[in-house]
Structure 1
Amino acid sequence: MIDFAAGYQAYQHTSVNVKASGADIHSLVGMLFDGFLDELARTEGHIQAKRHDKKAASVEKLLKILGGLDASLDQDKGGEVAVNMHNLYQFCGQALLRASLRDSLTELADVRTVMTDLQQGWQALLQHRA
């Protein structure tokens, strides 16, 4: 039997690496937002299908992505905006953990709302820079 999922994951990993190798920090942050929302959709599917082991792995990926986004903040130059972003990332991380413990799609929806708003704001910023 052919494992299409493994092949797709390998393709996706390679595709992301190629994109990341030529991207500036602003594009990389955009890629993190995209990856986060993609993984969040997988997490929702794992909760619905009661695949607890895969849900846990997805939540771990989400927390790592949040860590990457948080690490990209320039606390010295970012001022209040950086502090607010940090607080939103922390809120999302805590909500992810609660959602995982409770298998709560409602709490995941709250995270999706926050992260989608941030992604859209980031995209608007990138378009304004161009």
Structure 2
Amino acid sequence: MLDSGFQAYRSTAVEGRAAGADIHKLVLMLFDGFLEELERVAGHIQAKRFDKKAQGIERLLRILGGLDASLDHDNGGEIAKNMKSLYGHCGQALLQASLKNDVQQLDSVKAVMTDLQQGWLGLGSQAA
């Protein structure tokens, strides 16, 4: 009961932040959510909570889909193409980590996504 209340609060809080955010902030929110969920998935693998791991992997793949959908392929040129490739690589690595219950595979995804997040943070500070 408490867990469902917390989830409802969290969902409302995220929706509220998203409603007032520009695309840059929305992408950063996706990166934040991705990295938080990635940590939870690692914990689920370590604790052998494989049903929760599967739900987490599904959420991670949906977030990657959202990040991929945010790419501007018409104006993004080589950067958009490379980002798409990195998102695809991360998706494949997530599936492999899930199949093998391999936390180390998640570390490579975390490294890529943290680097991308830092790049987006840098873009925001340049624009400010």
Q: Does TM, normalized by the shorter one, top 0.5?
A: yes
* 1:12 to partner: Cα distance: 1.1
Please list every run of at least 4 consecutive aligned residues from structure 1 whose deviation after the TM superposition is greater than 3 angstroms.
Answer: none
User: C-alpha displacement at 1:9, in angstroms?
Assistant: 1.5
Q: Counterpart in 1 of 2:49?
A: 51
Using the TM superposition, give the Cα deviation of residue 96 of structure 1 relative to its aligned residue in structure 2, in angstroms.
0.1
Identical counterparts, % of pairs: 62
Question: CA offset at residue 78 of structure 1?
Answer: 0.4
Local SS of the residue matching 1:32? helix
1:106 equivalenced with 2:108 (yes/no): no
Give a deviation string over 1:36-64, Cα, whole Å, max 9, x none. Answer: 00110110111011111110000000000
What do residues 58-97 of structure 1 show as CA deviations (whole Å, max 9, x unaligned)?
A: 0000000000000000111000000100000000000000
CA distance in 1, matches of 2:22, 2:112: 24
Q: Do structure 1's residue 12 and structure 2's residue 10 form an aligned pair?
A: yes
Count the aligned residue pairs. 128
Tell me the equivalent position of 1:27: 25
User: Taking structure 2 as the reference length, what is the TM-score of the superposition?
Assistant: 0.97
Q: Aligned pair 1:85/2:83, yes or no? A: yes
Could you tell me how far apart the structure 2 residues matched to 1:23 and 1:97 are?
31
Q: Please tell me the residue identity of whatever aligns with 2:60.
A: L
TM-score, length-scaled by structure 1: 0.96
1:25 Cα offset (Å): 1.0
Name the CA distance, whole Å, in 1 between partners of 2:118 and 2:4.
31
TM-align CA RMSD: 0.8
Gaps (5+ residues) in structure 2? none
SS at match of 2:76: helix
